[in-house]
Structure 1
């Protein structure tokens, strides 16, 4: 696999994580704890695979510039500039949500999940949008 193919792969991982976050959230709302745990573990695994591929890609491909023009640019950069800080924030939030769950501190787990889930969902959705805008709709990006 060529490094230029990694954005498609890591976006697939991101989409799979998104589906499992939604499934896990649905399962816990229905009171199905074991399927919730399974879905969330799978979401974590896909998110970890995403992050590894993402970091590897940007280490080897370097910085890429958005190729879109006109109105697409402010839209892209608005999405990107909301996505980036929340993506950075999501990792400690996820850790602070998972650890109490592992320790059977479900009160703290639930309290943290109320913050983590919306951020994780937003980051996953906007990550897919960033990929589509940068690599599909207006791409390929310009290598800097």
Structure 2
């Protein structure tokens, strides 16, 4: 068995664990409100614009990383992709912290825009779950020097991840007038 096969096999377990575990953990923690449980914590109302900004930065990083790889700047591409993953992790931590300390905000728009908002929100949520294994598999293919397979799956991963990053900003902009 080749070294790359061993590496992929080793990480495949983690890909499955994280791809299932992260959405389950977020769903479980989404229902936990520390204030309602009696903890003396301030609502972290300052976080939504920050994590929306991180989504925007992630989108720019992803586009820049695509430019880098297309211009044969492989080391830059690698560094940018690690940064994009780091931004996504930071977003997730802030998102969880916000929802554990603050009441959920209800969207107040009416008419057609309400349907547009919920369409964007639902596709954003579903694709943010779906993109986890794609990002991890794409990253592991690169670690294993399987660049033919890396490139093939990256063509699927990139537009999904970019959509999630951009719609994260759009969802924030649409709901921000309704924050308390």
The question of a shared fold, defined as TM-score above 0.5 by the shorter chain, is answered with: yes
Larger C-alpha radius of gyration, 1 or 2?
2
* Among candidates 113, 121, 131, match of residue 80 of structure 1: 121
Q: State the match for 1:115 in structure 2.
A: 156
- Structure 2 residue runs without a partner (length 5+): 1-41
What's the C-alpha RMSD, in Å, of the aligned pairs? 1.5
Q: State the match for 2:64 in structure 1.
A: 23
Q: State the match for 1:48 in structure 2.
A: 89
Q: Is the contact made by 1:90 and 1:116 (CA closer than 8 Å) also made in structure 2?
A: yes
1:54-92 alpha-carbon deviations (Å, 9 max, x no partner):
111112214321121222201101111211110111111
TM superposition shift of 1:2: 5.6
Where do residues 62-141 of structure 1 align in structure 2 (5 Å cutoff)? 62-135=103-176, 139-141=177-179
- How many residues are treated as equivalent by the alignment? 139
1:26-78 alpha-carbon deviations (Å, 9 max, x no partner):
11011110111111111111111111101111122143211212222011011
Q: Is the contact made by 1:3 and 1:57 (CA closer than 8 Å) also made in structure 2?
A: yes
Q: Is the contact made by 1:17 and 1:46 (CA closer than 8 Å) also made in structure 2?
A: yes
Helix, strand or coil for the counterpart of 2:46?
helix
Q: Is the contact made by 1:100 and 1:108 (CA closer than 8 Å) also made in structure 2?
A: yes
Moved more, 69-78 or 21-30: 69-78
Helix, strand or coil for the counterpart of 2:108?
coil
* Among candidates 79, 84, 91, match of residue 38 of structure 1: 79
Distance (Å, rounded) in 1 between the aligned partners of 2:66 and 2:164: 16
TM-score of the two chains, using structure 2 as the length reference? 0.73
- Where do 4+ consecutive residues of structure 1 move more than 2 Å? none
TM-score of the two chains, using structure 1 as the length reference? 0.90
